[in-house]
Structure 1
Amino acid sequence: MSKDAFDELLGKVGPLIVKADTRLRLSIGPAERLAICLRYLATGDSYRTIAFSYRVGHTTVAVIVREVAGAIWTALVEETMPVPQMEDWRAIAAGFQERWNFPNCVGAIDGKHVVIQAPANSGSLYFNYKSTHSLVLLAVVDAQYLFRVVDVGGFGRSSDGGSLRNSAFGEGLRDGSLQLPPDTLIPAAERLGLLPHVFVGDEAFPLLDNLLRPFPGRQLTRERRLFNYRLSRARLVVECAFGILSSQWRMFRRVITTSPEVTELCVKATCVLHNFLRRKTIGRPSRTPVVPVVAESSDEAPTLRDAPMMGSNNATRRSIRLRETFCSYLNEEGAVSWQQNVV
């Protein structure tokens, strides 16, 4: 982070983290408090290591990280990650069409397991398929690698589809409250009729009217393999966004030993910091802020009763027909010159 970016961030976060001096001692200034928190997010070092570097107590570092991470989220979320409205979804779709040649795509969705130390008395709630303990970061990313919706705090034992089903975003996707644009005709492909705006995901997600996933299996026709390639090409933006996030904030490359509540605050802080820094490089202006869709954290300790229930993953006939329609478009009117050489 450059000095100018740090100063700008301090101007936004500073008023929320300033502390008053007392008769017994001087308080730690907001610039140092912000630097301590950013040091933890950027390195993942232990609290004791950071405490030695800044000559403060390790319990002081723990308090600062929790308070400042929450303040970063509060100060930046309305500016850098507002809830997309209908015009925003249209702009995202235009970006995917221009950069990734995928029509009516309003975001790539995926989940990332944030490795943590197993919380006490948590049983197998956080134990994932990689044989580690984790929290799930579920994110929707646009064509510019910006996080548009995040949901943090899913149990590691949940699949990506389960995390989507139990998230506020997944509920909005099911009940139609995301304010997605109405179905539209794709230029030069009017024969296909009206097509919905969709998110793209991998095989871990269900096939829905507004969520496309690849065709399963290995014995696929060439047309279906081409569709899978084109969908994966658009979906990789979320994988790249996670890679950029992990490279900038290297706490993701370590086992995080804080409580799940503090880990959620740190993960959300890194997501808005990612957008804050990336918007400077792409020069995208922010729109009028509104409250974003994020998971609500509970003050109560998780129990096995809170574990998500497994459900069916059967697609409707309309969802299957829509995927076939997109497959037809990407093999004919929407074909790109190089796809025949790739598959």
Structure 2
Amino acid sequence: MHRRKLDNVGETMTDMQKQEESGQFQNFCRMAPEDFDHLLSLTSEKIRKSSTNFRDSIPAYDKLAVTLRFLATGDSYESLMYFTKMSKSTICNAISEVCAAINEALQDYAKTPSTEEEWLSIAQEFNEKWNFPNCIGAVDGKHCVIQAPINSGSDYFNYKSTFSVVLMAIVDANYNFIFADIGCQGRISDGGVFRNTSFYQKLQNNELNLPNDQSLPGRQQNMPFVFVADDASEKRIYNYRLSRARRIVENAFGILSAVFRVLRKPMLLQPDKASLVVITCVYLHNYLMKRKASRKLYNSPGMMDRIEDDVVIPGQWRNMDRLSSFLPLPNTGRRHTLQCENIRKEFSDYFNLTNILPWQNNIA
């Protein structure tokens, strides 16, 4: 087997896997070798330490590898210790250090649109791919289960009688996160979680540069651009189209927890470190979705829900949902203003009157 040096340190087990053609490396780190190298180049300066007369430093390569392995499996530090030959405290420090470096390095992979043109581009893709005009994002949240925080009382105690931090996110038409907020206590309701985000504050202060209202195709009334979320409706066609557009964020969460299995079991971490781990998974999701070499490895055929002959075929990630500690937010019911009801009615009328999808004629 070909041997090489890394950071002036001898060959590591992960380096050996990288030379194999069996796919071991992709399974180990959940990405193609070339994208691992690219991510290493983006983070190495921040995670590399100098060796001393008493001890050789741990290579940046190894720190990144063990962090990705932790995110991919959720294995305990003790389990990781046996094959990395690092101590538990070293692994703990390395994971926090590397996660922070990844988040800083991948900022451009998960940016909220800042111009009207960027929002309009998202709206165009929602209309072309999911037949939902004037839509600029799908919103949802998840409870990420953690161990009971020290001296936290009931702050993180959620409706499932577990402890959690909440991930609130907005996703575009291509399953990419365009906003994510993590860290809100599990006891807070879904509406309260959203109101606590920086996104909500900017929305309230008109600081998002959203496009001006425009009419739906073939209609006269000007309509605002909207974010879709989980909500019931008595209108079958409207509800189908709403569900179809909202399914994007559900699938993004699904593949996130299917690949980064640290989200599928209670994290034995305090809230701040758990939040750091979760947001790192979000950044890596966008990174792998946009990298040519890893895209098919990350989002393999059949992983996402798909529609064939107007029938929804569940994605493979749904087979893992029962084991997940990545819990949905409860629907606590909402009171809608008259303005919201009018917006919903206009969308409902549009979907019922525009014969875009052939099966609509068969709905009673």
The TM-score bracket by the shorter chain reads: 0.7 to 0.9
Q: Is the 8 A contact 1:33 1:64 kept in 2?
A: yes
Matched, 1:230 2:241: yes
What is the DSSP-based 3-state SS (H/G/I as helix, E as strand, rest coil) of the residue aligned with 1:61? helix
Other structure's SS at 1:114 match: strand
Please give the alpha-carbon distance, in whole angstroms, between the structure 1 residues aligned to 2:123 and 2:337: 24
Counterpart pick for 1:84 among 92, 113, 116: 113
- With over 3 angstroms needed to count, the CA separation of the structure-2 counterparts of 1:246 and 1:278, relative to structure 1, is same
Aligned-partner SS, 2:180:
strand
| Higher RCO structure, 1 or 2 (CA under 8 Å, sep 6+) | 1
Give the counterpart of 2:225 among 180, 188, 197: 197
Q: Which residue of 2 aligns with 1:117?
A: 147
Q: What is the TM-score when the length of structure 2 is the normalising length?
A: 0.78
Counterpart of 2:209 in 1: which secondary structure? coil
- Give the RMSD, CA atoms, in angstroms: 2.0
Contact 1:329 1:335 in 2 (8 A): no
Please, what TM-score do these two structures have when normalized by structure 1? Answer: 0.82
Distance 1:229 1:122 in 2: 41
Question: Which of 55, 65, 79 is the aligned partner of 2:95?
Answer: 65
Q: Provide the rounded CA distance (Å) in 2 between the counterparts of 1:283 and 1:102.
A: 29
Percent identity reads 44
**Partner amino acid, structure 2, of 1:198:** V
Structure-1 residue corresponding to 2:32: 2
- 1:170 aligned onto 2:193: no
Between 173-182 and 113-122, the greater mean CA deviation after superposition: 173-182
Question: Which runs of structure 2 are paired with 1:116-135 in the superposition (5 Å)?
Answer: 116-135=146-165
SS at match of 1:338: helix
* Deviations 1:114-136 (CA, angstroms, capped at 9, x unpaired): 11111011111111112221111
Unpaired segments ≥5 residues, structure 2: 1-30, 296-331
- Offset of 1:154 from its aligned partner? 1.1
Q: How many residues align?
A: 297
Equivalence for 2:307: none
Partners of 1:342 and 1:266 lie apart in 2 by 45
1:202 and 1:119 map into 2 onto residues whose CA distance is: 30
Following the alignment from structure 1 to structure 2, what is the Cα–Cα distance between the partners of residues 254 and 202? 25
**In 2, distance between residues paired with 1:164 and 1:104?**
21
1:186 deviates by 2.4
Residue 74 of structure 2 corresponds to 44
SS of equivalent to 1:123? coil
Q: CA deviation at 1:74?
A: 0.6
Structure 1, residues 297-340: CA drift from partner, whole Å, max 9, x if none?
xxxxxxxxxxxxxx995332222111111111111126422245
Matched, 1:100 2:121: no
Distance 1:231 1:312, change over 3 A: closer
Give 1:134's aligned amino acid: S
Deviation at 1:173, TM superposition (A): 2.2
Displacement after TM superposition at 1:97 (Å): 0.2
What amino acid sits opposite 1:234 in the alignment?
A
Q: Which runs of 4+ in 1 moved over 6 A?
A: none
Unaligned runs of 5+ in 1: 204-213, 285-310
**Which amino acid is 1:34 matched to?**
L
Q: CA deviation at 1:112?
A: 0.9
Change (3 A) 1:123 1:280: same
2:178 alignment partner, SS class: strand
